[in-house]
Structure formats: structure tokens, C-alpha cells
Structure 1
Amino acid sequence: MADKRGKKRSNGQGSVYQRKDGIWVGAAYVLTTTGHRKRITVSAKTKTEADRKLRKKINDSDNGVPVAAESWTLGAYLEHWLANVVRHRRPKTYQGYEGVVRRYLVPGLGKKKLATLKAPEMRAFFTRLEHDCRCCADGIDADRPVDQQKCCALGRCCDKRLSVRTIQFIHAVLRNALQQAMREELVMRNVATLVQVKTPKYRVNRGLELADARKLLRESEDDRLHALYVLALYLGLRRAELLGLRWEDVDLNEGALELVQTLQRVGGELMVVPTKTAGSTRTIPLPSVCIRALRAHQDRQIRERESAEVWKDSGLVFTNTIGRPLEPGNLRRSWHPLRDRIGLPETRFHDLRHSCVSLLLDVGVPPHIVARIVGHSDSRITMSIYAHASLDEQREALDRLEDHL
């Protein structure tokens, strides 16, 4: 095809022409992600710019970089990604990702074209997430009945903003989705990686001190879940790992247990799911104190089975009084009174896991062994988040240096 000056363009170069409204358009057939060729167009205010854009598309196609077969919006692609990629991951993962997509990414960026996403758009979006009050942004107060509106709808901002951890998670979900789009050759680059967000500062030394750990073991002796606290403190097991532990995975004669599943509430349903990561599936030797606690717990469970009118055998080690799985949230009924009795009302159950790591490191266990016991994928996690050095230990180290010098 010839342009307005009559100059013939070679085959494969496409065509450039001017519309009646004065806009210049370039058109050519290029390779798509499906392996077929389709006609694409570019537009610009000048012929030179339209020609430049068109040549770039053609050059990319000649170099094996296809264009998207479909003109995805980010919202449409995220729905596709959830249904065809994330759906096959752990149920808890899907639940978390779907919530982020629905609540934040689709409302904030869903109408943007996937293929033309820009870093400044990403940066502006995360800036809004960081600074906007969620009550104002989501219209939470405005959705309440008029007589119950008390803050933003009445002009008194409640200043409820997303935490740094939540914003980091939103960024991670978007980054993972765009990385998959790159694998599918729908985008040329992952623009989410060009935008930095703040990282949360994790508190360290949240575990129990040695004296408090001993007190916990004493105070829980008469609790029907005493064995659960022993395993949490000695082995650093996660709550979901403890509640998903089966008797068939425990060998009290050999003194070992195998962790292969967890118990979690997902979407309102109690589910048995695989362990958190491949490194979380592990076999752990049982010290004698754990074996004794588990034998006593087994005897107690047998007595509960004999006295129960109806026993629903789940095969789990830790159950309610009729054999059914123990609700993760119901563990608080035992944990909260126990922590109050030992004088640690702010201590979380998960802090027992922190305690195990810190106590193992305190007695000189190498970090890579600690990581294997508690199921960390990398010993650097063990050292960076959980490990701490007390003032006494630091003072002792500096005293040794003083003596040496």
C-alpha cells in the first residue's frame, strides 16, 4: 500500500495512513501468543511517530516476541489467573489471593489494559492504598444506616488505613499475577517489580523466657491439651500442624512423628490440607518428655471415647471431647486462661513456636538443624525473624573480647 505521498511500502512493513480526524494510523500483521498472525493498529498525532510505533511492533514480532492474542484488561486477566492458576494451589492461598483481587486490585486497577500497564500507574495505586482512609475509600461508613453513621460519612475521618503488611501482600499478589502473564507472553515485563513498597518490621524476641516456659509446662499439666503445649514448645509446631496431626503419623515406640497435613478453616469450612511448604513436610524425633505427654494424652482420649454417648472418630491426636477435629479458634478457650495464669496476657499461641526456636539456639543448636525441626525453608528465616541475643549474652561476648584484648 502506498502512503499519501505515493511511496510504496515493502511487504511486511504494514501501512501508515491518516484518518479524516487527522490522526495517523499504522497497521500490520504480527505474531500473537496463540502462534497465529493478526492485524494490529497503532495511532499517533504524527506520521513519524505512527511509523515508529508500527516498526517496533513488527520488529518485536520478527524477533519472536508476540503480541497478546486478546486485549485483556487487568481485571479480566486476574479473574482468569485465579480460575486457572491459583485455583490449583492450597485453598488458603486461593482464599487470600481472591480476597486481595476482589477488594483492592479490581476496584483500583481492573479497567487498565494489561499490555500497557505503566510503573507510574502502579506507584500511584500503592500510594493511594498507603494514604487513603479505607472507610472513606470503600464507603464503609456511608453504607451504614443514617442513624449509625459516625465518622467519614459525616465528615469526621476515622483514619483507618491499611497496614504495611497488608500493602506488601497486595503487592505480592499483583507481582505474582503479572509474572504469570509474562510466562504466557501477554506482557513484555512485570511492572509491579519496578515499584517498591514498605516492608513490615517484624518484632523479635516475642517468645517465652526460660522461666516462663517452665511455668507454662507446670500450669498446663492438668489441661486436657497439655500434650499440645508440650509439642508446641519442644518442637515448635504450628497450630495448624498440631490440629492436623494423626495418630497414624505418630510412632511412640520409635519416638518420631511425621508431619504431612494441617487442619485449617477455609471459606467457612474446616479442611485438611497439605503442609505449608515442601520443607514443612518432615519427620521429627520425639524427646522423652513428648512421648510421655502423648501417651498420657492417648490414655485420656480413650477414657473420653468410652464415656462419650457418641464418638466421631477423626483419627486426629487433638480433638474435642467427642472425637471431632478441634476448631482452630476454639483453642483460645484453653490457651487464654492458661496464659493469664502464668502472667503473660499478651502472649500469642504462635509465640510458643518463637520460644522453641530461641531456646534451641540458646543451647547451641546450629541454625540449620533448628530450621529442619520447625520446618523453615531457609535457616536465614530462623536467624532473621526468630533469633535474638539477650543483653547478658551480648555483655558476655563483649567481656570475652575485653579479656582477649
Structure 2
Amino acid sequence: MARVTSESGGEPTKGKGRSRRNGEGSIRQRKDGRWEARVWVYATNGSEVRRSVYGSSWQEAHEAMIKLQSDKMAGVRVPTGGDTVGHYLDYWLTHVAEPRVRPATLANYRRLAGAYVLPYLGSKKLGQLRPADVRTFLNRLKGVCQCCALGKDRKRVQRGASARCCAAVPAVCCANVLSDGSVRYAHRIVRAMLQDAIVDELIATNPARHLRISHRYRPKFTPWSAEEARRFLKAARGDRWYALYSVALALGLRRGEALGLRWIDVDFVENVITVRRSLQRVNGQLVNGPVKTDSSERKVALAQPLARVLELHRADQVRQSKTAKQWADHGMVFATKIGTPVEPRNLKRHFDQLCAKAGVPQIRFHDLRHSCATILYDQGVPIENIQDVLGHSSPTITKTIYVEATRKIQ
């Protein structure tokens, strides 16, 4: 076996070399023909460990060794420990994500992490995760039927349900691939988790940070015009949710924000609504929790016609509470026939029926928010004022996401 020195720029020489200084590193040829360079580096836990890099020639090993030494001088630390992605993900959800995100967001994190991140990445070593691993994971979510890949149908059959996809005989793939939004969400979870692993000094770099993914960043939507909005409200007049749709269209409230409104949030003297709560279903329970972001908590002025609509709605609610066999007063602006919070999914069905009755394009309830922004913009309201109404932190967000200018304005 050849014994060599690791002098910078030198060639390997047989025989006795000069004494190496501490930390300089060494290069040797292995029995399999490869060259191995060994260098002392600093680990993420503060200790000093020896790391090996390899090359097919002495020059390749030497260049890899120089890079390690350069990273060491720059303060880069190498990961230690044998934690898997799954082990750290469980820790991250409980101790890092839970204190800083809304309960509904955390529930989505846990759902996507358990259904997709853990099956694909959970067993991989955290310190050995590479960008190619994350890219393969995201591509499989988008291009492969998850029912077949993860055996969802087999698990469904084990619970007593009928086979619908890969477990059916003959097998008929249901093509259950994830939407662009779900793939983007999974990417966001993995990227955030790995970024915190850097803060915890478990890894040196984030392999998910600079990936360029081909999925669309945001879904396309078509807001209503002012005429379509008027047609819808005309069809909804007399309906018990007329006031709700009026608030959503006029103020651009999210569904959870509208359903989370309480009468103490409505000031009929100053004609102002304070948006500070959001009704969400979390782990099977309806929870009236905080709004999406800090900037989402806001005060929005009530136009006089809208204030009048809410006053009439309150009077109807008072009459209903007196005639109902039972009434659980939660102080909600929009409540069920017995005073309890409204199930968001029930509202969706009602909204779809009204769209058909009015003869307007079928959109999501959330697109009323988009429609509000576009109608205000068409009427000449400055972006900065629309930003305040919608509760965005930046007017750029408002213009990029929510405002689709009409051909006339363009």
C-alpha cells in the first residue's frame, strides 16, 4: 500500500513522508483502488470528529479534502447522530411547530406528514438526506397514484371496506395523485422542518430549500364581476344567509373569519367590524381560534347599506331565538337555527345551490374574497386600501393573488 503525504499541491510519494501537522489531513490508497482522504472537522454538537472523503484518483481525494478543510475554516459543521427524518419530524411537530402555528394549520401538518412525508422519507437518516431524495419524494406525490404506492386500498379493505383500487380484482388504478396545492404544502412542511434542524445544529444545510419544483405556485380562479355579484345577491335576498354572503362579498372575509364573527365584534355606532377570530374544524371539533396571521386581525369599515343588512339580520336572529324550542346562545353573528356555530361544509352545499339558482359561474366560497378585491379594484379603489380590507401584510400580495383586472381597465 502506498503511504503518501497530503501537502497542498503535491503528488503522492512512496516511502516515509514528512510529519503532518494536526488537522492537516491524510490521503491513502485503499485495497479497492480508491483514494481516501481523512480530515478532522467540527460536528454540529460541538465535538471534533474525523471524516473521510473518496476519489478515484489521488487528485480527486485531495480536492475533496481541501474542500472539507475550507468548510471547516468557514465554520461549516458536519451533522452527527443517527436520527431519522421520522424521529425528528415527530419532535418538530410537537415542540417547534405546535407553539407557533394555528391549531388548524398544525392539524394539516400532522395529516400530510403522517400520510405522505413519513412513508417516503421517515426511515432516511436526517444527516444523509439529499436534494435528490426530496425531489424524488415530491415527484412521486405528483405523478404516482398514492393509493397504489402506499397501499391505501389494502388498508381500507383490512378495516372492512370494499376494495376500490389496487386491491380490487382485477385491479383498477384510481389515479389518486396529489394536487399541486398539496404537493406544495408537503414541500413547505419538509423545508420548514429541515430549516429548524439546522437551527438545532443537527444538519449543516437544507436539502429542500433551493429545489425548483414544476408544480404551479397558485391555482387559477375566476372572480365574479360586479354584475354577477349583484345577480347572486338578488337571488339570495330573503335567504337566512343573505347577510353572510353580503359580508363576504363586501368585506372579503375568509369563510372562517365570517363564521367566527361575534356580535361584540360589530360596532353599529362607529360602523366598524373587528376581525379577530376564525371558525375552523380541528381534529373533528369546531374551534373559534385566532385568524390566519397577525395582519389578518383588523378593523374594517361598514358601509351604511351593509350595516343595515346586519341590523335586520340581528333582529331576525332575536325573533328566531324566542321561537326556537332550544337556543344555545354563543353570541355568533351567523349561527344555526339553534344558535350554535355553523358547520363550514354545510355552508358550501348551500352556496353551490344559490350559485345555480342565480345562474352565475360556480366558484368556491373563498373566491368571494377574490371577487371583492377585483370589484373594488375595478371601481378605482387603491391597492393599499384593498390590502387593509383583506388584511394582507403587503400590497404586493394583494395585487399578485387577489386582483384580476378586467379587460376594460387593462
TM surpasses 0.5: yes
TM-score (norm 2): 0.83
**Aligned with 1:209 (options 225, 249, 269):** 225
Report the equivalent of 1:353: 369
For 2:203, the aligned partner's letter is V
Which has the higher mean CA deviation after the structures are superposed, 25-34 or 227-236?
Answer: 25-34
How many Å apart are 1:85 and its aligned residue? 1.1
**How far does the alpha carbon of each residue in 1:29-54 deviate from its partner, in whole angstroms, 9 at most, with x for none?**
654434x4254443658895778767
**How far does the alpha carbon of each residue in 1:155-181 deviate from its partner, in whole angstroms, 9 at most, with x for none?**
443333222222222222212222222
Report the equivalent of 1:222: 238
Report the equivalent of 2:272: 256
8 Å contact from structure 1 (residues 135, 158) kept in 2: yes
* Percent of paired sites with the same residue: 38
Report the equivalent of 2:206: 190
**How far does the alpha carbon of each residue in 1:231-289 deviate from its partner, in whole angstroms, 9 at most, with x for none?**
11111111100111121121101110111111100111111221111221111110001
**How far does the alpha carbon of each residue in 1:282-304 deviate from its partner, in whole angstroms, 9 at most, with x for none?**
11110001110111111122222
Cα pair distance change 1:347/1:11, threshold 3 Å? closer
Q: Secondary structure at the match of 2:375?
A: helix
Report the equivalent of 1:401: none
For 2:126, the aligned partner's letter is L
What RMSD over aligned residues (CA atoms) do the two structures have, in Å? 3.1
How many Å apart are 1:26 and its aligned residue? 7.1
**Aligned with 1:85 (options 69, 82, 96):** 96
Cα pair distance change 1:203/1:46, threshold 3 Å? closer
Cα pair distance change 1:10/1:316, threshold 3 Å? same
How many Å apart are 1:6 and its aligned residue? 6.6
Report the equivalent of 2:7: none
Report the equivalent of 1:152: 166
8 Å contact from structure 1 (residues 22, 45) kept in 2: no
How many Å apart are 1:227 and its aligned residue? 1.5
Higher fraction of helix: 1
Report the equivalent of 1:37: 47
Which has the higher mean CA deviation after the structures are superposed, 370-379 or 146-155?
Answer: 146-155
Matches within 5 A, 1:82-161: 82-88=93-99, 89-145=101-157, 148-153=162-167, 154-161=170-177
For 1:312, the aligned partner's letter is A
Q: Aligned partners of 1:388, 1:59: CA distance in 2, in Å?
A: 50
8 Å contact from structure 1 (residues 29, 37) kept in 2: no
8 Å contact from structure 2 (residues 272, 299) kept in 1: yes
Cα pair distance change 1:43/1:365, threshold 3 Å? closer
**Aligned with 2:76 (options 59, 65, 68):** 65
Cα pair distance change 1:337/1:376, threshold 3 Å? same
**How far does the alpha carbon of each residue in 1:97-140 deviate from its partner, in whole angstroms, 9 at most, with x for none?**
22222222221122222223222223333232232122221223
8 Å contact from structure 2 (residues 79, 204) kept in 1: no
Q: Secondary structure at the match of 1:193?
A: coil
Cα pair distance change 1:96/1:15, threshold 3 Å? same
Count of residues in Structure 1 that have an aligned counterpart in Structure 2: 390
Q: Gaps spanning 5+ residues in structure 1: where?
A: 398-405
Q: Aligned partners of 2:298, 2:147: CA distance in 1, in Å?
A: 44
Q: Aligned partners of 1:21, 1:198: CA distance in 2, in Å?
A: 41
8 Å contact from structure 1 (residues 13, 55) kept in 2: no
Q: Secondary structure at the match of 1:271?
A: strand
Q: Secondary structure at the match of 1:254?
A: coil
The reply on whether 1:272 has 2:282 as its aligned counterpart is no
Q: Gaps spanning 5+ residues in structure 2: where?
A: 5-14
How many Å apart are 1:356 and its aligned residue? 1.1
